[in-house]
Structure 1
Amino acid sequence: MMTLEPVTLRGRHATLEPLTMAHADALAEAVRDGELWKLWYTTVQPPEKMPAEIERRLALQAKGTGLSFAVRDQRTDRIVGLTAYLNADTVHHRVEIGSTWYAASAQRTPINTECKLMLLTHAFEQLGCIAVEFRTHFMNHASRRAIERLGAKLDGILRSHMVMPNGTVRDTVVYSIVAAEWPTVKTHLEWQLARPRG
């Protein structure tokens, strides 16, 4: 049976560190870079709620259904974001990658691509997943484009799926990558990271 255990994943651009309360101040600083909590179509917590958010995520980890990571920029050695495995289905070997956000200064860099490569590699090659899912708000077009660039395919749209903190109702767009597609997706992500950026 698949089990989520804390693990550190290291790449050239980023390191994914298992989330702890020790990351609270650095994450509060990172979320101020771009005032990410003000984006209405996301649920990024403001700086003052970061400790409570970490506690919530650690509770999911204790249940075995989630595993969150602080994202460290290798170039600056600063914590620049957060990402997670969510909704782990240990019987059917499925997991979701989500709750991802990056400081504005870390966006449009190789960090997100490399983090997704590391998380997908671990999911398919160590955890033995048969599918990895991604979910986002229908109106979060930047997130949808980023997920599609990974090579994930659209599964469908869950209409009126959840109520957002501001009271609006979210249509959730669901994507996935399945195990048979992983070798091609991995090659594509490695190519994206290797190509020159101008």
Structure 2
Amino acid sequence: MALCATPTLEFADVRLEQLGQKHSADRSDLVARGGLDRVWFAKTPSAQGMDTEIERRLALQVEGKMAPFAILDLRSNKVVGATTYLNIDAANRRVEIGSTFLGLAHQGTGINVAAKYLLLQRAFEELDCIAVAFCTHWHNQQSREAIARLGAKQDGVLRNHMYDPRTGTLRDTVVFSILPHEWPTVKQGLLARLAKHGRV
């Protein structure tokens, strides 16, 4: 089963489906209303650049490097964000979960937890991955804390990992991962969090 495939996944009133241009207007509205593209240490695409960003992700999917999903809240039947498998290493059955954003009104509602549950379940139970990585900017404390709450372990920090032409700064990247033997415990933790949000 190809790691870059994007089958529809559903759980806890959340659906992940193949990202496409039909999601562009909703995603643009989420970014514009929340000012998500103005956070200097995140790479959220601008509302104006959303069509181009979707095309970029779809091109990477064709190359086998990415599996881009739209996130839908089934309670409102609206697009509320996006997430991906990226940096796919099919030979070694490794993926990274990232390039995720969620509208401000939907943060802290359990939607992101459900999305991560779906992607991790697919990675470990269907795709037989040997590791799932999460990477974030050193200065993105909210993201670092959220990744740790998932149950991921910090592997280390890649210093001067990337240059950001928007700000002229160098990014230190914090790398986390979850391994197959950790998934059962991580899974129970995610289910408990979803229960607190009334989603299971």
Relative to the length of structure 2, the TM-score reads 0.95
Q: Which residue of 1 aligns with 2:193?
A: 192
Structure 1 outlier segments of 4+, above 2 Å: 1-4
Q: Which residue of 2 aligns with 1:160?
A: 160
Q: CA RMSD in A?
A: 1.2
Q: Which residue of 1 aligns with 2:134?
A: 134
CA distance in 2, matches of 1:20, 1:52: 11
Q: Is the contact made by 1:2 and 1:93 (CA closer than 8 Å) also made in structure 2?
A: no
Q: Which residue of 2 aligns with 1:180?
A: 181
Q: Is the contact made by 2:138 and 2:171 (CA closer than 8 Å) also made in structure 1?
A: yes
CA distance in 2, matches of 1:13, 1:139: 32
Q: Is the contact made by 1:162 and 1:171 (CA closer than 8 Å) also made in structure 2?
A: yes
Q: Which runs of 5+ in 2 are unaligned?
A: none
Relative to the length of structure 1, the TM-score reads 0.96
**Equivalent position amino acid for 2:195 in 1:** A
Report the CA distance between 1:196 and its aligned residue: 5.3
Report the CA distance between 1:2 and its aligned residue: 5.1
Report the CA distance between 1:33 and its aligned residue: 2.7
Percent identity between matched residues is 47
Q: Is the contact made by 1:95 and 1:131 (CA closer than 8 Å) also made in structure 2?
A: yes
Q: How many residues align?
A: 197
Q: Which residue of 1 aligns with 2:12?
A: 12
Q: Which runs of 5+ in 1 are unaligned?
A: none
Q: Is the contact made by 2:113 and 2:194 (CA closer than 8 Å) also made in structure 1?
A: yes
**Equivalent position amino acid for 2:110 in 1:** P
Report the CA distance between 1:4 and its aligned residue: 2.4
- 1:1-198 equivalence runs, <5 A: 3-164=3-164, 165-195=166-196
Q: Deviations over 1:31-81 (max 9, x none)?
A: 123110000010111111000000000011001110011111112111111
CA distance in 2, matches of 1:73, 1:32: 19
CA distance in 1, matches of 2:70, 2:197: 26
SS of aligned partner of 2:87: strand
Shift in alpha-carbon separation, 1:118–1:33, aligned structure 2, 3 A:
same
SS of aligned partner of 1:48: coil
